[in-house]
Amino acid sequence: MSSIKKNFSYNLVYQILNLVILLVTSPYIARVLGPDKSGIYSYTYSVANFFLLAAMLGVNNYGNRSIALIRDDKEKLSKTFSSIYVLQLLTSAISVTAYVIYLVWIIDANRTVALVQGVYLMSAAFDINWFFFGLEKFKLTVTRNMVIRILSLVGIFVFVKDQSDLILYTFVMAGSQLLSTLALWPYVRKLTKFRRPTWAEVAHHIKPNLVLFIPVLAISIYNVMDKIMLGIMSTDAQVGYYEYSERILQIPMAIINALGMVMLPRMSNLVQKGEKELSRKYIANSMYFTIWISMATTFGLAAIAPVFTVVFYGKQYTACIALITALTVMIPCKAWANVVRTQYLLPNSQDMIYVVSVIAGAVVNVILNAILIIRYDAMGAVIATIFAEYTVMLIQTFKTRKELEFGNYLKKGWIYVVFGIIMYIAVSFIGNGRKASVLLLLIELAAGGVVYCGLSVVYLLVTGQMKKYLKKKIKT
């Protein structure tokens, strides 16, 4: 098995574990805390996350790429890691100080919950996942994070029993994040040595970090600002509805994100070596895969939304049905943009295309949020997010149209839209007029999987693609 497949497998297993935990805890927390308390957690977390983003700047992408480029040179590796991490420590200290000022002089309501969220913010000072990702040490990071995620799951069921346990829930979630960052530090000394950097070496990373921080900030505006603006312009319950609707999108995006996380360091390394043909092949294969999986999940989630929402969240969350159905529209564009970003733009240091696209998306999102949330509450935030995501995707596609073969991707991938529609009709027919239950949900999932996968296999057999793939594997 190639290293790419191994790394993808590790990340996929971890993402699946996250999904299992999400599917187990979400219905429990939704019922125990209720929409209002869930909205308070989501709002305070969103604010703390803004400060964490400021602490990390663009180091997750920049550090990953920088380490991947020089990982074969031990001396450069030590200097690069040390100088980037010192910069991260400085920005984290500034961000924590700013958060303390926010807690003391700005916030009025839910100060205790916000204080506990500070534990989550502190994790920024110790987060060096970017170093291990750049070295493609995914097994190490994934196994440690899996153990901590399981411990956090146990903590939720042991300590969170009713609405009064909101602070305990916040501490479990924030504490697990901090613990996951600390768990990797014992392994750093085995891979590199810390070299005390000069200020010039540290300052060298400020500008490129800031450049990549702009898209991180812009993305957070239309991923997190939605909840903050909902909290200010609407009710805690609306924030809760939006939070739990958006969580469902983590299911398809987990697979896409796992692929992007693995491919970014590999593609950066290929660019460094000048292997353009191989990198284009990887991009094409990744795009075909993301089209296939995104069409399945877009139409699949839309079809099961009425039953899924009642079964997992309860009848008090029926408002989420329309929100989930609408949000599925942006799965294909998020998946498409993920491949363009992680496998072409960032590895080729075309950061400004990335920056411009997400700034445009953020502007669209904020403007539409201000117009629509007052009138449509959570649905207004959903509409704004959809327009923002498609703005990002279209700009990135237009700017890279001469380098990437988008026409071929669509030519080979359009058929999966048809399969998705057929699956949607079949699943909707099964659930139409029937009372929501776990059994009905399982039947819908099974039927959708059989229809979509069955049609895909028949198509691959008819076109001969399956035969070519099997021959290649047999030869290997």
Q: What is the pLDDT of residues 322-375, one digit of tens each?
A: 999 999 998 998 888 888 888 888 788 787 888 888 889 888 988 998 999 888
Report pLDDT for 455.
92
In the chain, the percentage of residues whose pLDDT exceeds 90 is: 16
Kindly state whether residues 378 and 451 are assigned to the same domain.
Answer: no
Average pLDDT over residues 301-314: 87
Kindly indicate the confidence band of residue 12, based on its pLDDT and cuts at 50, 70 and 90: low
Kindly state whether residues 451 and 377 are assigned to the same domain.
Answer: no
HSE of 5, CA atoms in CB hemisphere, 13 A: 3
Are 42 and 243 spatial neighbours (Cβ–Cβ below 8 Å)? Answer: yes
Would the pTM of this model clear 0.85, i.e. be above it?
no
Average pLDDT over residues 64-74: 78
DSSP-H helix ranges across 235-350: 236-247, 250-273, 276-313, 320-327, 331-340
Give the separation between CA 56 and CA 52, rounded to whole angstroms. 6
Residue found by looking up tokens 């696209």 in the block: 357
End residue of a domain, out of 413, 429, 454: 413
Give the separation between CA 165 and CA 158, rounded to whole angstroms. 11
Give the separation between CA 401 and CA 348, rounded to whole angstroms. 15
Q: How far apart are the first and last CA of the chain?
A: 10
Kindly state whether residues 275 and 353 are assigned to the same domain.
Answer: yes
Kindly state whether residues 306 and 285 are assigned to the same domain.
Answer: yes
Kindly state whether residues 374 and 420 are assigned to the same domain.
Answer: no
End residue of a domain, out of 394, 413, 432: 413
Average pLDDT over residues 280-299: 87
More confident residue, 163 or 251: 163
Kindly state whether residues 339 and 420 are assigned to the same domain.
Answer: no
End residue of a domain, out of 376, 392, 413: 413
Give the relative orientation of helices 438-463 and 276-313 as an angle to the nearest 10 degrees.
Answer: 160
- Structural domains in the chain (count): 2
Give the separation between CA 418 and CA 409, rounded to whole angstroms. 15
Report pLDDT for 475.
54
Asked if the model's pLDDT at residue 447 lies above 90, the reply is yes
Report pLDDT for 10.
63
CB within 8 Å of 299: residues ≥ 6 apart: 328, 420, 421, 423, 424
Residue found by looking up tokens 């807690």 in the block: 103
Report pLDDT for 325.
92
Domain extent, residue 206, equals 3-413
The values of phi and psi at residue 126, to 5°, are -120, 5
464: left (phi over 0), alpha (psi -120 to 50) or beta: left
pLDDT tens, position by position, 102-139: 988 887 777 888 899 999 899 888 988 888 877 877 77
Which of 73-104 are b and which e, b meaning 16 or more Cβ less than 10 Å from the residue's Cβ?
A: eeeebbbbbbbbbbbbeebbeebbeebeebee
The CA-CA-CA angle for residues 335, 337, 341, to 5°, reads: 120
Both tokens of 221, joined, read 């505006």
Report the range out of 187-196, 272-281, 387-396 with the highest average pLDDT: 387-396
pLDDT tens, position by position, 17-46: 776 777 778 778 878 887 788 778 888 888
Kindly state whether residues 103 and 233 are assigned to the same domain.
Answer: yes
Are 65 and 268 spatial neighbours (Cβ–Cβ below 8 Å)? Answer: yes
Asked if the model's pLDDT at residue 257 lies above 80, the reply is no
In the chain, the percentage of residues whose pLDDT exceeds 70 is: 89
Kindly state whether residues 373 and 421 are assigned to the same domain.
Answer: no
Asked if the model's pLDDT at residue 267 lies above 90, the reply is no
More confident residue, 6 or 375: 375
Using CA atoms, how far residue 360 sits from 7, 76, 215, 380, in Å, is 33, 36, 10, 18
Asked if the model's pLDDT at residue 469 lies above 70, the reply is no
Kindly state whether residues 396 and 325 are assigned to the same domain.
Answer: yes
- Average pLDDT over all residues of the chain: 82
The CA-CA-CA angle for residues 368, 369, 374, to 5°, reads: 115
Kindly state whether residues 157 and 26 are assigned to the same domain.
Answer: yes
Element (H, E) at 90: helix 74-101
More confident residue, 10 or 352: 352
More confident residue, 459 or 213: 459
Kindly state whether residues 376 and 475 are assigned to the same domain.
Answer: no
Within the chain, how many helices (H) and strands (E) appear? Answer: 22, 0
Report pLDDT for 1.
41
Report the range out of 1-10, 52-61, 315-324 with the highest average pLDDT: 315-324
Kindly state whether residues 71 and 114 are assigned to the same domain.
Answer: yes
Asked if the model's pLDDT at residue 3 lies above 70, the reply is no
Report pLDDT for 471.
55
